[in-house]
Amino acid sequence: MAGHSKWANIKHKKGKADAAKGQVYTKLSKAIAVAVKEGGSDPEMNSRLRDAVTKAKANNMPNDNIDRAIKKGAGELGSANYEEITYEGYGPGGVAVIVQALTENKNRTAGDVRHAFDKNGGNLGTSGCVSFMFEKKGQIMIEKDDSVDEDELMMIALEAGAQDINVEAEGFEIVTEPEEFQKTCDALVEAGYEFASAEVAMIPTTYSKLSEEDVKKMNKMLDMFDDNDDIQEVYHNWEEE
């Protein structure tokens, strides 16, 4: 069950035009720059930077873009003065939603987030109102194809420190504790696996189903969040049918 909403998110993003990749790279660059500013430009010494770079590579972000983002965070290409803000609320049908943002104008971003909730039958809540329904975990998604041997994948992942592996129709979800995420990613990359996504994420512990009408509202709300450059990540507990 834990992979349902994540696979929906991956399909949702892949369905967008290639022109949207630039916007995705902008968001990934922000995350890398902030990680560098807070912990330095050496990924070996900065676990947050390593996680951000791993996520960028899983999204096929070019190395030149990654290098520029690191230099920007280090102050070599201008400053990166972003503030991290997390919003929590309820989407259509009472779905739990967490929105993570990096912004230079928190008033603008708060207004945009509230508008997206309100316009689609949801409401922005207070800090902590839904986060108790999620756990912070490393999450690696690998799509099924003929080259993936399920037993071998499980063995490599578990030996590297994976906590759980969920087998679904679309592929495999490998779950780790946050501190085991990079070690597991490295082992899988070394074994030749490619990721549909790889990140330290907020994974729901319970899921909600939506009516057909609320599904339309939910997808519209997610599109509004995706189109906002300030918004880095959106986590929710919608279980797609």
* CATH of residue 159: 3.30.70.980
Over 70: is that where the pLDDT of 220 sits? yes
Domain presence at residue 78:
no
**CATH code for the domain in which residue 27 is found:** 1.10.10.200
Over 80: is that where the pLDDT of 80 sits? no
Domain presence at residue 241:
no
CB-count exposure of residue 8 (10 Å: 0-12, 13-18, 19+): buried
| pLDDT band at residue 240 under the 50/70/90 scheme | confident
The tally of domains found in the chain comes to 3
- pTM equals 0.86
Over 80: is that where the pLDDT of 85 sits? yes
- Residues 8, 31, single domain; the answer is yes
| pLDDT band at residue 184 under the 50/70/90 scheme | very high
Domain containing residue 140 = 134-204
Domain presence at residue 159:
yes
- Percentage of residues of the chain with pLDDT beyond 90: 80
Closest C-alpha to 139, from 55, 221, 223, 62: 55
Domain boundary among 73, 106, 123: 73
CA 149 to CA 41: how far, in whole Å? 36
- Residues 210, 197, single domain; the answer is no
Section 85-89 average pLDDT? 97
Domain presence at residue 229:
yes
- Residues 138, 126, single domain; the answer is no
Domain presence at residue 87:
yes
- Residues 54, 12, single domain; the answer is yes
Radius of gyration over alpha carbons of the chain, in Å? Answer: 18
The SS3 call for residue 67 is helix
- Taking residue 49's Cβ as centre, other Cβ atoms within 10 Å add up to 26
- Residues 65, 157, single domain; the answer is no
